[in-house]
């Protein structure tokens, strides 16, 4: 409740560190996504708003974040984040919404996050913004061109084209010759079993015609825009499942098969932001917080977003580089506390812990049994163990400081 501890100040420190981690990275992917935090089970909390669509009576907060990752998938941190509560659902008709300026719409969040991303990214780092279908807004495409911001987004609308034979986007792509076939490994989900999908890839340059807008919403006429489109669609999907299909728009040239495959591979990284949200909700359990005002919750979620990124980064390093020294992911006092805990003796063992050993020990502090067939520890166990490790590291620091003072 301290007014000095605003969410802007909390996030600014993490944003600055994230920008530092971008130094030396030639190219990074900035993944935008919106998540809804449901606090309907806390009816006494003040200042919440409706979430989801108008058919739901759920109450909570809306969070829009930009997670930046390397092309290989290493999460480097959050570049932007905005958390807010709706006052109510919009009562505008479809026509009224189309004739409202983008700056007055909730969907402006996509443009605002892209603008902030361009402002903070180091000059020597190329950033590619990745978005799902919600960002397929013509004003977003125009703003990207104005900012010279590179992007890859999944198209939602079958837009008009400046093309005599194919006046619409989807028929033009489907009319292209298949450039190649690729196989994707699809993870299992609630309504989909794990399987491999064989997809046909097509690509071409496109010129989009602007949609009609009321002059009150768009004082200057929207321009036509030239982009590249990449289309992948599953061949012979299972009878009981819909075909996998993505139509991607990008302002990054796509002239070869390899370039088209790279854009598809970049877009596959978009799911990393959903994993980050899962860690925040399921691992850190931010929706269980019982703070009584939306303002306090916003600060709480901002702080835990930084923690969730740290856990995500830790588990990624453990999965991809398990033999690196534990000091790669932990502070020296944290490593020392784990060594004392494992050996129950002093002085510390000369052989340093590896990342895998350290993560396993942290998970065991959180209740993970670590039996032969238990597999990798889950994020909830790691989070619980990390909380305990923080206390142990603090105690170790106090003990060692006391020893130094005694010796002096």
Tokens of 265: 């591979």
pLDDT value of position 146: 95
> How much is the pTM?
0.90
Residue range 238-265: mean pLDDT, rounded: 94
pLDDT value of position 96: 66
- pLDDT band per the 50, 70, 90 thresholds, residue 397: confident
Interatomic CA distance for residues 241 and 232, integer angstroms = 16
Q: What is the CB neighbour count within 10 angstroms for residue 226?
A: 12
Peptide bond into 307 cis (omega under 30): no
Is the per-residue pLDDT at 257 higher than 80?
yes
Instruction: Return contacts of 307-310, CB within 8 angstroms, 24+ apart.
Output: 307/383, 308/276, 308/279, 308/280, 308/283, 308/284, 309/14, 309/67, 309/75, 309/77, 309/78, 309/276
What Å distances lie between residue 162 and 25, 98, 208, 225, CA to CA? 38, 22, 6, 10
Reference 301, options 17, 53, 39; nearest CA is 39
Residue 300 and residue 286 in contact, taking contact as beta carbons nearer than 8 Å: yes
Reference 305, options 18, 100, 90; nearest CA is 18
Residue 128 and residue 29 in contact, taking contact as beta carbons nearer than 8 Å: yes
Written as one string, the DSSP assignment of 29-92 is: EEEEEEEEEE-TT-TT-BS-EE-S-TT---EEEEEEEEEEE-TT--EEEEEEEEEE--SS----
- pLDDT band per the 50, 70, 90 thresholds, residue 90: low
Mean pLDDT for the chain overall = 89
Tokens of 367: 């209740």
Residue 243 and residue 234 in contact, taking contact as beta carbons nearer than 8 Å: yes
Is the per-residue pLDDT at 402 higher than 70?
no
Is the per-residue pLDDT at 97 higher than 80?
no
pLDDT value of position 218: 77
């Amino acid at each position: 409740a301290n007014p000095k501890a605003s969410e802007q100040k909390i996030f600014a420190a993490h944003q600055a560190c994230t920008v530092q981690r971008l130094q030396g990275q030639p190219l990074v992917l900035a993944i935008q996504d919106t998540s809804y935090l449901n606090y309907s089970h806390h009816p006494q909390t003040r200042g919440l708003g409706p979430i989801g669509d108008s058919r739901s009576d759920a109450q909570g907060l809306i969070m829009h974040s930009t997670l930046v990752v390397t092309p290989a998938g290493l999460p480097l941190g959050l570049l932007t984040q905005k958390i807010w509560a709706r006052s109510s659902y919009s009562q505008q008709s479809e026509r009224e919404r189309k004739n409202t300026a983008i700056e007055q719409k909730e969907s402006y969040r996509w443009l605002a996050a892209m603008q902030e991303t361009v402002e903070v990214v180091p000059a020597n780092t190329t950033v590619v913004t990745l978005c799902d279908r919600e960002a397929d807004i013509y004003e977003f495409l125009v703003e990207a061109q104005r900012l010279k911001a590179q992007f890859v987004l999944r198209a939602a609308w079958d837009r008009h084209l400046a093309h005599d034979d194919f006046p619409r986007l989807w028929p033009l792509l489907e009319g292209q010759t298949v450039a190649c076939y690729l196989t994707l490994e699809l993870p299992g989900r609630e309504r989909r079993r794990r399987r491999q999908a064989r997809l046909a890839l097509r690509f071409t340059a496109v010129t989009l015609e602007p949609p009609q807008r009321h002059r009150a919403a768009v004082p200057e006429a929207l321009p036509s825009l030239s982009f590249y489109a990449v289309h992948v669609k599953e061949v012979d999907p299972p009878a009981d499942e819909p075909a996998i299909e993505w139509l991607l728009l990008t302002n990054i040239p796509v002239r070869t098969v390899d370039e088209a495959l790279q854009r598809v591979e970049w877009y596959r990284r978009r799911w990393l932001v959903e994993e980050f949200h899962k860690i925040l909700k399921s691992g850190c359990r931010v929706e269980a917080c019982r703070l009584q005002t939306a303002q306090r919750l916003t600060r709480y979620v901002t702080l835990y977003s930084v923690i969730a990124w740290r856990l995500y980064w830790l588990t990624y390093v453990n999965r991809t580089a398990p033999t690196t020294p534990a000091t790669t992911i932990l502070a020296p006092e944290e490593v020392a506390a784990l060594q004392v805990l494992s050996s129950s003796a002093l002085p510390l063992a000369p052989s340093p812990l590896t990342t895998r050993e350290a993560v396993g020990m942290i998970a065991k502090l959180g209740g993970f049994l670590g039996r032969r067939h238990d597999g990798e520890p889950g994020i909830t166990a790691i989070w619980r163990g990390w909380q305990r490790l923080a206390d142990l590291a603090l105690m170790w620091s106090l003990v060692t400081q006391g020893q130094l003072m005694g010796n002096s």
